[in-house]
Amino acid sequence: MDVVMIGTGNVATVLCKLMYKNGHRIKQIVGRDAEKLTQLATLVQAESCMNIANIRLDANIYIIAVIDDAVANVVNELHLRDKLLIHTAGSLSKQVLQKASSNYGVMWPLQTLRKETEHLPEIPFIVDGNSELVVNKLQEFAKTLSNKCFVANDEARIKLHLGAVVVSNFTNHLFALADDFYKKELLNFKLLLPLINETVLRLANYAPNDVQTGPAIRGDFETIEKHLTLLNDYPQLQQFYEAFSKSIAQK
């Protein structure tokens, strides 16, 4: 597949690496940051372009992989007629693309992606399109990149995105708060990594409700009070601790 990528950030970089690895040709990368653009284009042997007005029109698929707020602005600068155009956002409707092409859709990677990461993680792709033909094409394309590909419309995808925020962004924020606490108390956060890994590994075989542990589910309010007292100098973490303990106990 001949691809034009619009964007040079985390998602664009990881997808370019993945497509390049799996035999697709990235014909052009469009971006505004000259350094990032040159670096990514060189990595995947693509032509670089800093002016979207000079975008190539001989590719099979055009991918917009920029921050959500910038997608509409990019679309306003594109006139692709019937070329297949997609964005990679979990929270945006596919309809945002309709001004730029008559064939459009979404291919959202349900994964946290960092361009600095050397290994390519397993990425489930959630696809949708404005026609059955587009959906079929995107399924075929996604399956060359991953063995996990699912179709979900705008309504279902935003719900999937919400869940992804909870399990990834929110949990990482808790990791950050715990890390801050440990640093100030002269403790090593990495001591928690085996616990974190085991907690996640259990989810492959058990429902989250079935493996809940800790003082809240045991009704151990004495321990909870001790922990809350320890957190008097950490009001943000204390607030989370109290709210989560109440939620676990109520559930």
Same domain, yes or no: 200 and 117: no
CB 135 within 8 A of CB 103: no
Same domain, yes or no: 92 and 171: no
Among 119, 152, 185, which residue terminates a domain? Answer: 152
Among 120, 152, 184, which residue terminates a domain? Answer: 152
Same domain, yes or no: 177 and 246: yes
> Considering its fold, how many domains does the chain have in total?
2
pLDDT at position 118: 85
Same domain, yes or no: 19 and 143: yes
pLDDT at position 117: 86
Among 137, 152, 167, which residue terminates a domain? Answer: 152
Same domain, yes or no: 144 and 189: no
Same domain, yes or no: 35 and 130: yes
Same domain, yes or no: 123 and 195: no
Q: What is the tens place of the pLDDT at every residue in 179-238? A: 999 999 999 999 999 999 999 999 999 999 999 999 999 999 999 999 999 999 999 999
Same domain, yes or no: 55 and 92: yes
Burial class (CB in 10 A: 0-12, 13-18, 19+), 116: exposed
Same domain, yes or no: 120 and 57: yes
Same domain, yes or no: 134 and 172: no
Q: What is the CATH number of the domain that holds 171?
A: 1.10.1040.20
Q: What is the CATH number of the domain that holds 40?
A: 3.40.50.720
- Where in the sequence is the domain holding 83, given as residue range(s)? 2-152
Q: What is the tens place of the pLDDT at every residue in 86-138? A: 999 999 999 999 999 999 999 999 999 999 988 899 999 999 999 999 999 99
